[in-house]
Amino acid sequence: MNWEYLIKKPRVALLLLLLLWAFLQLKPWAGLNVDWGFDIQGGARIVMKPLNQSVNLEDITLVIQNRLNIYGLRDIRVRGASDLQNKYVVVEAAGLSEEDVEKLVASEGKFEGKIGNFTVFRGGDVKVDKARIRIFYDREARVYRYEIPIILSPEAAKRFAEATKNLIPVGFNGTYLDKNFDFYIDGQLVESLPISSELRGRETPTAAITGRAGSYDEVKKNVKRLTAILMTGAIPTKLEIVSMQNVSPILGYEFLKSTAVAGLFAAIFVSLVILMRYRNPRIVGAILFTAFSEMVLTLAVASLINWQLDLSAIAGIIITLGTGIDQQIIITDEFLYGYSKKGEKEAMFVILAAFGTIVAAMVPLLFIGVGVVRGFAVTTVIGMAIAYFITRPAYVEIAADFFK
């Protein structure tokens, strides 16, 4: 490696360092460390009918969307639909099984905490202290346990004091009260926890839901599900499952293969056109290297922020590559007609104007867009930012040598 060249070309050196980071981030030797969206990796599609048809579909879809977002998913599509007789809710979620969707969104999610037959709180009376959620291994029982701290509303705390004031201490040295704190979801008992006798008759502002399971993955699923239900509240009505299906990722991966092949042929065709225009193979290599760098860095950033790439996001990357080659030709032409700092500045000014225009067009979609529109906007903005601040300045330094 020519270290003297890299010292003189700091933008090129920066690009090479970032490409090394991107290579480590994407881990191509282990597949590709990219989170694909519903269109490509598949997932679950579920169609549900509200039992109460008078309920506003927007209220239902909002709760389900929030619940799935808390669950840690990103490529989620929740929409209302209707025919001449009924309303429906359609959910599509990438990387989720039918069973996961059914447990998370088909249930109404009516959460209650009871002591005996006395209801201390319902879902709206509590908040989850997410920062203090714990999953730990119980060496004695050889299972994983979880603990979800919750904060009770003042009204719920008063009801707790009322429900426990007449209970009797039992057990060794009267450690616990004679009734447990029972937690229900949709009328089904999920946890029954002993109450310390020290809390009898006290307005306790905090509590903790604890439980256990055999494996870490099982505990993690339980924690996500309970946290999602606690934080989003109940769905306004029960939902009847009309149809459920797993969407195969096969077609999506075939699309990726077809896109890669099409991209290869496009690169060959573009190379021939550029070669005919400039008659310099080094220029062709520099332009293709810069375009490849933009694609790799965009994928690496998407992997870093865990952004799921669907078909629209891939379209955003393609848009970035197309504008990139176009702007590199602008830079090359500025140098072709006489290398000068003025030519470099004029080329970068044109690129800055294009960058500002595209970002200005994409920013509204980042905030008001949903689903496929937002994915397109995110990857386009990421790609254009990488292009303007990293790859195209590096190309300016490379191209400057061709026309000295």
DSSP 147-164: EEEEEE-HHHHHHHHHHH
Cβ atoms of 135 and 146 closer than 8 Å: yes
Per-residue pLDDT band for 209 (boundaries 50, 70, 90) equals: confident
User: Does residue 103 surpass a pLDDT of 70?
Assistant: no
Torsions phi, psi for 186 (to 5 deg): 55, 40
Q: What is the pLDDT of residue 98?
A: 64
Distances from the Cα of 321 to the Cαs of 9, 284, 364, in angstroms?
Answer: 23, 15, 22
Cβ atoms of 109 and 229 closer than 8 Å: yes
| pTM of the predicted model as reported, rounded to 2 decimal places | 0.58
The tens digit of pLDDT for each residue in 43-77 reads 777 888 888 888 778 777 777 776 666 555 456 77
Per-residue pLDDT band for 184 (boundaries 50, 70, 90) equals: confident
CB within 8 Å of 363: residues ≥ 6 apart: 377, 381
Per-residue pLDDT band for 403 (boundaries 50, 70, 90) equals: low
Per-residue pLDDT band for 234 (boundaries 50, 70, 90) equals: low
User: Which two three-digit tokens encode residue 397?
Assistant: 């330094």
DSSP classification of residue 95: T
The tens digit of pLDDT for each residue in 105-125 reads 656 567 788 888 888 877 667
Secondary structure (3-state) at 35: coil
Q: What is the pLDDT of residue 66?
A: 67
Task: Show the domains of the chain with their CATH numbers.
Answer: 3-38+249-402 (1.20.1640.10), 43-247 (3.30.70.3400)
Q: Compute the distance between CA of residue 206 and CA of residue 153 in angstroms, rounded to an integer.
A: 9
Q: Compute the distance between CA of residue 23 and CA of residue 190 in angstroms, rounded to an integer.
A: 45
Rounded (5°) CA angle 111-113-119: 110
